[in-house]
Amino acid sequence: MTAIQSIANALGMPLNVLIFLAADPIELTGISNELKEKLSRAALELLRLPTTDNLF
């Protein structure tokens, strides 16, 4: 398993979403703004912590 895959697993997200988040804006020129927004929202949902009163 690669280091980047280990990071994606630890964050609980697919590798391709992590790669999207790490991409430079120049690398995303072929992706529409609508798709970028959808991917960004999906990534935020994946990164959200569970809501519980017992986190800390």
52 inside domain: no
CA dist 42 → 1, 13, 54 (Å): 24, 10, 25
Against a cut of 0.75, is the pTM above it? no
- What range defines the domain where residue 22 resides? 3-46
d(CA 29, CA 25): 7
Domains: count for the chain: 1
Asked whether the beta carbons of 30 and 55 are under 8 A apart, the reply is: no
Whether residue 8 lies inside any domain: the answer is: yes
Cα dist. 9→5, 14, 16, 30, 52 in Å? Answer: 6, 7, 11, 27, 22
For the chain, 56 residues long, give each residue's pLDDT as a single digit of tens: 699 999 988 887 889 888 988 999 899 999 999 999 988 888 888 777 554 554 44
19 in any annotated domain: yes
Report yes or no on 56 lying in a domain: no
Read off φ and ψ for residue 4, nearest 5 degrees: -65, -35
